[in-house]
Structure 1
Amino acid sequence: MAERKAATIGDVAREAGVSRQTVSNVVNSPSIVKESTRLKVQAAIEALGYSPNALARRLRTQRTSTIAVKLDPYSGGVSGVVLDRFVHALTESAAARGLRVLLYAARTLEEELRHLDELADAGEVDAIVLTGTSRGDRRAARLLERGVPFAAFGRPWGTDTAAHPWVDIDGAAGTRSATRHLLDRAGDRIAFLGWPEGSESGSDRERGWREAMGERTAPRLTAEDGVAEGQEAVKALLPNGIDGLVCVSDALAIGAHLAAVQAGRPELPIVGFDNTAAAEALGISSVEQLPERVAAGILEMLMGPEGNKVVAQEPKGLLVEPRLIIR
């Protein structure tokens, strides 16, 4: 017979029809919970055999000198190195402050939410760093509800009022700089190759191109991220349709470069985004995101300029301007 899985705080919350925070309050601070609610939660605890961890309760009021961040699944291909650089930079910067980094993996949003609840329940970390933020991010809402200190690599899209600290790359500034460079060097018809609608960071990068172009007109192309996709999207414009091209990623820029070579325009100026080793090897200019500055900014927001203890958090943000690398 299979061993019965131990009940979690989430199981108790569902059984009692309350939030996880209410269950946590019943376990740790029962005096602040209405009696009828407390009795309902205690009945669920007894029915499910839930056993709160005394060590976890102690850890809530003690420092662990540990921060957690998700390790994204390996995606391969050209792109995807920025978050790897960020995790390395965060680990190195944290170590310099006497802190450890705990990595957790999650392939879906629901899986990540479960991990966040487990980290909060166990008191294993002093703070959590989110990556890959989205509009109406449920992870941020969950951590705010649980009262867990956290900061995000990525802005709270869709709102001008932040509820938590965040640091992000100013993608619009990067593509604006790239577009102005090509306007000065190549001519007025500087096209843009972006992702399909739905990408917040992609829209931000497109905005920088539009701002730099002003009243000038040039094609705005769309492709899923990938070398082959970029090559297919651009070849219809060549050989003489554009003076230059700004791309939302290095993968698309490499595809565009291959299309230009096949069309007899290997000199077509192209700028990618991410400054990957592949773009460098092919001599393609690119916008470098500087995730090391993001990591340093996040730790400063969480713990001050030099400290290693979470301080009172201000719900503010910081945009890091990327660097244009010309080749």
Structure 2
Amino acid sequence: MGEFPTVTDVARVAGVSRQTVSNVMNTPGIVKADTRARVEAAISALGYRPHASARRLRTRRSSTIGIRLDPMIDGISGSVLDRFLHALTEQADARGLRVLLFTATSPEDEISQFRRLNDGADVDGFVLTSTTADDPRTEWLLEQGIAFVTFGRPWRSDDFTAPRHPWVDVDGYSGLHAATRAQQDAGATRIAYIGWPSPSGTGDDRRRGWHDAMLERGDVSAEDLACLEVVTADGVDQGAAAMQQLARTAGGIDAVLCASDALALGAMIANPARVPVTGYDNTPIAAAIGLSSVDQPVDEVAAAALELLAGEFEGKSGAPSDPAPPPFRMVTPRLITRQFAAIPRDSVPVNALVSEVSR
């Protein structure tokens, strides 16, 4: 017998034909119980595993998941999706699945890639990231009946709890709500927020967590709360400029929460008063500079995405008679608290810091 047992080895030990072994593995119901038991015992004793390529030919499935490789943004902003891609690949491999990466320059270009990969039977389904309301990619996949799951909710209120497709997302609302509560419990009352322009599904969700927590505690009026918020594009320089604006217009602040670690890094730099800053995403740079941040548990997201996609492959997800949980998962993030220390603007070039930590 060779190093790896074969179907022939199983058939010989069980005293049956190769076809019988194949029947036991693929259509066990047509094999007599005692014969099936002998074959299963032989498979167990030999440690036989069906060859993946042969299984793909037999089932007409590629056992492959397609996912777009997002364009490089910077070492901070791209960190979460990079971690998610690694987690997805590792967990897919454990399930006997492969991940195929492709690039696209726009949603329309990504749809063209969907069509090409599906027509060539290169993938069984897709994982989508960076979802938006009325996303053309999800509409096209739904029309074509192609299995997929999104990292990101649909962002439309009418299909949040009864979605037309499976999704996994991180609850940004609870993340910022918890971060606000942590600062309030530490004695802060005037807690500012630096976020992104609306409409932004992810950004709006995080902002509501801060906004609601502030109103619930009642330390500031709704009018005063508006003075504690700055809206800006994402980035380190933008975060620094927003922090400077708060210093001029907010009338004194006790802490600052940010929609991303990039904004938080900028806020830490433009912070001579050493006001505590909290970011979002818990990127490697947050750990390196001692920045408290809301952590997105991408391992849990990847596991949930694969579970839901497996249900799509089997035609189970969303079926009215299916007693399983609904075809979406909301994952709760956690606040990572670190000892805060402001970063003087002239202590180190920001670009050098970002590049070094993001390697």
Answer whether TM exceeds 0.5 for this pair. Answer: yes
Unpaired runs of 5+ residues, structure 2, are: 1-55, 319-325, 339-359
Q: Equivalents in 2 of 1:151, 1:60: separation in Å? A: 25
Q: How many Å separate the matches in 2 of 1:323 and 1:210? A: 18
| Aligned equivalent of 1:248 | 259
1:52-87 C-alpha deviation (Å, 9 max, x unpaired): xxxxxx989721111111110111242211111111
Residues 118 and 124, structure 2, Cα contact 8 Å, conserved in 1? no
| Counterpart AA for 1:103 | L
2:143 is matched with which residue: 136, 142, 145? 145
Contact 1:63 1:126 in 2 (8 A): yes
Aligned equivalents of 1:171 and 1:212: distance in 2?
13
Q: Contact 2:230 / 2:246 at 8 angstroms: preserved in 1?
A: no
TM-score normalised per structure 2:
0.70
Contact 1:59-1:123 at 8 Å conserved across structures: no
Structure 1: how far apart are the matches of 2:284 and 2:168? 24
CA distance in 1, matches of 2:90, 2:76: 24
- Aligned mate of 1:293, from 287, 296, 300: 300
Paired residue for 1:210? 211
Match of 1:168 in 2: 169
Deviation by residue 1:200-247 (Cα, 9 ceiling, x = unmatched): 100000011111111343311111111111111111333871011110
Corresponding letter in the other structure for 1:73:
P
| C-alpha distance in 1 between matches for 2:74 and 2:237 | 15
Identify the range of structure 1 (172-181 vs 268-277) with the bigger mean alpha-carbon deviation.
Answer: 268-277
Q: In structure 1, what is the Cα distance between the partners aligned to 2:333 and 2:62? A: 33
State the match for 1:3 in structure 2. none
Structure-2 separation of matches of 1:216 and 1:117: 54
User: How many residue pairs are counted as aligned between the two chains?
Assistant: 263
Q: Which moved more, 1:234-243 or 1:284-293?
A: 234-243
Deviation string for 1:237-266 (max 9, x for gaps)? 338710111100001111111111xx3x22
Deviation per CA, 1:254-311: give whole Å up to 9, x if none. 1111111xx3x22x1111001111122221100011111111001111225xxx9644
> Which amino acid is 2:240 matched to?
Q
Is residue 286 of structure 2 the alignment partner of residue 279 of structure 1? yes
Q: 1:236 to 1:121 in 2, by over 3 A?
A: same
- 1:300–1:213 distance in 2 versus 1, CA, 3 Å: same
User: For the Cα contact (< 8 Å) 1:127–1:310, is it kept in 2?
Assistant: no
Q: Structure 1 stretches of 5 or more lacking a match?
A: 1-57
Q: 1:312 Cα deviation (Å)?
A: 2.0
Query: 2 CA distance for matches of 1:164 and 1:79?
Result: 27
SS in 2 for 1:68: strand
- Whether the 8 Å CA contact 1:128–1:150 is kept in 2: the answer is yes
Give the % identical residues. 49
- Contact 1:166/1:298 (CA < 8 Å) preserved in 2? yes
Post-superposition CA distance 1:10-62 (Å, at most 9, x none):
xxxxxxxxxxxxxxxxxxxxxxxxxxxxxxxxxxxxxxxxxxxxxxxx98972
Q: CA deviation at 1:323?
A: 1.1
Q: Which amino acid aligns with 1:237?
A: L
Q: Aligned in 2, Cα 1:60/1:131: closer, same or farther, shift over 3 Å?
A: farther
3-state secondary structure, aligned to 1:236: helix
The equivalent residue for 1:313 is 317
The one-letter amino acid paired with 2:230 is L
CA contact (8 A) 2:294 2:335 kept: yes
Question: Using the alignment, how far apart are the partners of 2:88 and 2:203 within structure 1?
Answer: 24
Distance 1:237 1:159, change over 3 A: closer
Take 1:209 and 1:160, find their aligned partners in 2: how far apart are those partners?
Answer: 24
The answer to whether the 8 A contact 2:240-2:268 is kept is yes
Q: How does 1:230-241 map to 2 (within 5 A)?
A: 230-238=239-247, 241=252
CA separation of 1:84/1:77 partners in 2, compared to 1, >3 Å: closer, same or farther? closer
Cα RMSD, aligned residues only: 2.0
Give the distance between the partners of 2:138 and 2:195, measured in 1 at CA. Answer: 28
Give me the whole-angstrom Cα distance separating, in 1, the residues matched to 2:57 and 2:147: 14
* Equivalent position SS for 1:151: strand
Secondary structure class of the residue paired with 1:298: helix
- State the Cα distance separating 1:120 from its structure 2 match: 1.9
Write the letter of the residue equivalent to 2:115.
Answer: D
1:226 alignment partner in structure 2: 235
The runs of 4+ residues in structure 1 deviating greater than 6 Å are 58-61
Return the letter of the residue paired with 1:88.
Answer: H
Three-state SS of the structure 2 residue aligned to 1:163 is coil
Q: Secondary structure at the match of 1:63?
A: coil
Aligned to 2:268: 257
Which piece of structure 1 moves more, 82-91 or 212-221?
Answer: 212-221
* Cα contact 2:108–2:137 (8 A) shared by 1: no
Change (3 A) 1:109 1:309: closer
Larger radius of gyration between Structure 1 and Structure 2: 2
User: Does 1:182 pair with 2:169?
Assistant: no
- Which of 128, 131, 149 aligns to 1:130? It is 128
Aligned residue type for 2:316: A
Structure 2 letter corresponding to 1:181: A
2:89 to 91, 94, 98: 91
